[in-house]
Amino acid sequence: MTHKTGKVYLIGAGPGDPGLLTIKAKECIETADVVVYDYLASPFLLNYAGKDAQIIYVGKKGGDHTLSQDKINQLLVDKAKQGFDVARLKGGDPFVFGRGGEEAQMLLGHGVPYEVVPGVTSAIAAPAYAGIPVTHRDHTSFVSFITGHEDPTKKDTSMQWDVYAKSNATLVFLMGVKNLANIVKNLIEHGKPSDTPIALVRWGTTARQQTVTGTLETIVEQVQQAKLKSPSIIIIGHVVSLRNELAWFDKRPLFGKRIVITRARAQASDLVSKLSKLGANCIEIPTIQITAPEDTSPLKASVENIKNYDWLIFTSVNGVKFFFDTLFDMGKDVRVLGHLKFACIGPVTKERLKDYGIISDILPKTYRAESVIDAFSSVEINNKKILLPRAKKARTILPEELTKMGARVDEVIAYETRLAKGGKKELISLLEKNEIDAVTFTSSSTVSNFMSLLESKDAKKLLANVVTASIGPITSDTARLLDIKPDIEAKEYTIQGLVDSLSSYYESCE
């Protein structure tokens, strides 16, 4: 049996910010059988790959290549010859110092079809995120992209230092940090004024972005003091002076803050997205895993007998999800719920219920007894039968208050929260190295499981310089019981409320 040769897509993965990936690039990743990616391609992009796709890391970090370029070329050919479509992710743009041309020639020589998907090059994006336009009508109308990887001292160099030095163009050197001293020396020796502005941008467009500015005369010492390393972009020219006026990316309220997200990975995307937009470097270390209960028969029995209930109350988005998953798995739909009245705890739960076409009749804002009593005070629930699908080991205050009002409450386990241990080593390592600025807790279980991961470690010592942020009073109460005093408690007990409180906290610290 002969295989149809697959196609290779040489994709520019962009400079680091996943949001700068093109729509076409995303589509190629989603449909690829094999994804081959570099050190500089954001690992987040791998989330777009199909669940059955083969993911292959090939390195290409300066001085540390997992595979040589020749072996990468051969890998692409081999996978395509086996009939696989390959998404080859390259940092920035594949044809801007990305050796994409070499890979294309190799593929062409072996009869492998390919397409090039251009990407946003770091040569433009990193300066832009640092507030430096590479061209500006008042400063320069052209720009030169130059490799900084080549040893500027070698005799047969192709570097035209006299041209660079006399040019009014913005000079952008890629991969040149190790050669910075020689680059500066050659430019000055060939006539470039020593007071010419220069900037280096490391990890441009990401929450790890670091920018150092100076002049040709001072920059080497400044970079050494800042301990700036690769990957960095070097920008030389008068446009660098615009940074003080145009810097925007690193002025966001949470810029560079390393914030641990303890929420279950499947539910963390909203929090990660909101914090990232404010500049945070989000580190996902889920402490909980949301799963269906071991015994689903009680929930199924409740669904089967749903006609016997008057009210259906949801206390979380998880309760909504697992209830409706069970309903649909049993071959039923929302029509069997037509006789019910609904209540949701919190606006986010209400919105999740609305996704199924159902509007909640009442909305207690919190678990607090006063809130529940107030919300139900306008309705008659005496002798009414209420179904309450929720987590195993949930707090008892809600059914207790409803029972006091005369309701008959059936609690059923809709889901369980279990300890997630996968990030234990990473968490402890980051805390011990003092590489975490804040930890977010979105439920009581995230707090208790977080402490479980630390085990016998001195939690107080590890968290001494870490800001702890709680989504609300119940989560805060759990934290205090475990000897953690939250620095931040959201005023609105939602993800957006938590984000707003974190932002306000750091803005007040400035």
Select which of 33, 38, 85, 437 is catalytic: 38
Cβ-contact 268, 295 below 8 angstroms = no
In a domain, residue 23? The reply is: yes
Q: Identify whether residues 128 and 242 lie together within a single domain.
A: yes
H/E element, 479: helix 473-481
Query: Which DSSP state fits 44?
Result: G
Mean pLDDT of 440-464: 88
> CA nearest 257: which of 494, 465, 470?
465
Q: Are residues 313 and 413 in the same domain?
A: yes
Q: Is 201 helix (H, G, I), strand (E, B) or coil?
A: strand
Q: How confident is the model at residue 1 (pLDDT cuts 50, 70, 90)?
A: very low
Can you give the pLDDT at residue 510? 66
Q: Are 180 and 198 in contact (CB under 8 A)?
A: no
Give the domain CATH number at 94: 3.40.1010.10
CATH of the domain at 235: 3.30.950.10
Tokens for 440, please give them. Answer: 């977010």
pLDDT digits (tens, 9 = 90+) for 470-485: 999 889 999 999 999 9
pLDDT number for residue 322: 95
Kindly tell me if the per-residue pLDDT of 320 is higher than 90.
yes
Instruction: Tell me: do 297 and 395 sit in the same domain.
Output: yes
Q: What is the pLDDT of residue 33?
A: 97
pTM across the whole model: 0.78
Least confident range from 3-7, 76-80, 230-234: namely: 3-7
**Is pLDDT larger for residue 158 or for residue 203?**
203
Query: For residue 15, is the peptide bond before it cis, meaning its omega torsion is within 30 degrees of 0?
Result: no
Query: Do 157 and 193 have their domain in common?
Result: yes
Residue 80 contacts residue 8 (beta carbons within 8 Å) = yes
For 427-471, the DSSP string reads HHHHHHTT--SEEEE-SHHHHHHHHHHHTTS-HHHHTTT-EEEES
pLDDT at residue 505 is higher than 50: yes
Examine the residue annotation and report whether 1 is marked as an active-site residue of this protein. Answer: no
Q: Is residue 200 part of a domain?
A: yes
> Residues 442-449: what's their mean pLDDT?
91
| 2 domain residue, yes or no | no
User: How many whole angstroms from its chain centre is CA 402?
Assistant: 40
What token pair was written down for 378?
A: 């306008």
If you compute the radius of gyration of the chain from its CA atoms, what whole number of angstroms results?
28
Structure tokens at 10: 């040489």
* 48-66: average pLDDT: 79
Q: Is 393 left (phi over 0), alpha (psi -120 to 50) or beta?
A: left
Q: Which of 120, 140, 172 is the last residue of a domain?
A: 120
Distance of CA 350 to CAs 174, 268, 332, 338, 373, Å?
Answer: 50, 19, 21, 17, 18
Total of domains in the chain = 4
* 210-255 per-position pLDDT tens digit: 999 999 999 999 999 999 998 899 999 999 999 999 999 999 999 9
For residue 137, give both structure tokens.
Answer: 């009508």
Boundary residue ending a domain (418, 434, 451): 418
The pLDDT assigned to 86 comes to 97
Quick one: pLDDT at residue 3? 66
Say whether both 71 and 21 belong to one domain.
Answer: yes
Chosen domain end from 400, 418, 436: 418
Helix (H) or strand (E) segment spanning residue 502: helix 495-509
Do residues 307 and 375 both lie within one domain?
yes
**Are 108 and 220 contained in the same domain?**
no
- 409: three-class secondary structure by DSSP: strand
How many CB atoms neighbour CB 370 within 10 A? 10
| Mean pLDDT (whole number) for 275-282 | 93
Residues 164 and 194 in one domain: yes
pLDDT of residue 67: 80
Same domain for 269 and 213, yes or no, is: no
Using the predicted structure, report yes or no on whether residue 62 has a pLDDT greater than 60.
no
Is the pLDDT at 188 greater than 80? The verdict is: yes
Instruction: Spell out a b/e string for 13-50, using b for 16 or more CB atoms within 10 Å of the CB, else e.
Output: bbbbbbebbbeebbebbeebbbbbbbbbbbeebbebbe
pLDDT of residue 367: 58
- Region 185-190 average pLDDT: 95
pLDDT confidence tier of residue 270, bands split at 50, 70 and 90: confident
The catalytic position among 17, 33, 60, 274 is 60
Q: Tell me the Ramachandran region of residue 203: left when phi exceeds 0, alpha when psi lies from -120 to 50, beta otherwise.
A: left
DSSP string, 144-193: EEEES-S-TT-TT----HHHHHH--SEEEEES-GGGHHHHHHHHHHTT--
User: Region 79-101: what's the mean pLDDT?
Assistant: 94
Q: Over 90: is that where the pLDDT of 337 sits?
A: yes
In whole angstroms, what is the distance from residue 211 CA to residue 349 CA? Answer: 42
Answer yes or no: is 384 within a domain.
Answer: yes
3 domain residue, yes or no: no
The verdict on 245 and 167 lying in the same domain is yes
244-248, 362-366, 373-377, 399-403, range with greatest mean pLDDT = 244-248
Q: Are residues 114 and 129 in the same domain?
A: no
The amino acid at 300: K
Write the CA distances from 48 to 26, 31, 43, 97, 249, integer angstroms.
7, 9, 10, 25, 25
Q: What percent of the chain has pLDDT over 70?
A: 95
The answer to the question of residue 179 being in a domain is yes
The partner residues of 234 in beta bridges, in order of sequence, read 173, 200
Q: Are 372 and 396 in contact (CB under 8 A)?
A: no
- Which domain range does residue 465 map to? 258-287+420-509
The residue annotated as part of the active site, out of 17, 90, 159, 175, is 175
Residue 1 inside a domain? The answer is: no
Range from 202-206, 338-342, 365-369 carrying the lowest mean pLDDT: 365-369
**Residues 335, 413 within the same domain:** yes
198 sits in which H/E element: strand 197-202
CB 154 within 8 A of CB 182: no
The answer to whether residue 175 is catalytic is: yes
Please, which contacts does 394-401 make with residues 24 or more away whose CB atoms are closer than 8 Å? Answer: 394/315, 395/367, 395/474, 397/367, 397/368, 397/369, 397/372, 398/313, 398/315, 398/345, 398/367, 398/372, 401/369, 401/372, 401/373
* Domain at 264, CATH number: 3.40.50.10090
